[in-house]
Structure 1
């Protein structure tokens, strides 16, 4: 067996064993999908699906991303059903880990509680200030600005000064 294959199996063992999964969850709270225990995974998948709805933690997941997360959750559910107390084969373990990591990557990127910090200089100043805002607040402000812009364009008079010949 090659060294790369052994390394992958070691990583799988660390992440798929209950103690390893629990340690990873305690150290880093961004693991939303954790397939360490089959009984808990159904509840976990249901909670993720609920949070992807409007007003949930992952409400800004796009339709394509939502479909991909659903697909990955389906793969995990099928593999866990296949396991049924037995250990999965190497390829199935790799598929399980890949599905779990893909779903986690999408959910982490669209997590409404994720804090985004920027160093920006306020208008009229050269001194940069650190400003932090959650992803949900940022997307909400972005959507409100877009709505306001489109409403202003829609309400503008037909004979506007955008054409210099009419001004």
Structure 2
């Protein structure tokens, strides 16, 4: 569960970041499996790469890829996906591509979205990478529904708003 407060379930320590059974090493292994599926660019995994990375890093803020910088882009990605589905996510991606033109100087600015609330990390999340993985294989059947639930759970827990 929450940082520094592992929970025991059947003799297995849960991940201190997200609360998933099996601990942080299990979450990292699942994340690596998921990235391999994403990078194969096969459906249904590839097109949701940004969403699952955002979910994982918002639930594991201590992960080396999370960095200490602005997490607003991940927040924007989840909001775009939850508010507009794949179309909303595609529109955000296209906007960012245009803003990342070689003709522009500096870092591209993300579209305006509500700021990621400044609050303590939640004690756990209703849906974690372990739930999306099901049996560890991230089965295609129902994958997008599980990712949507993960995104909604992540936003709800991070914002303190149960509706996300």
TM-score (norm 1): 0.28
Which protein has the bigger helix share?
1
Higher relative contact order (CA 8 A, sep 6+): 2
Which protein has the bigger strand share?
1
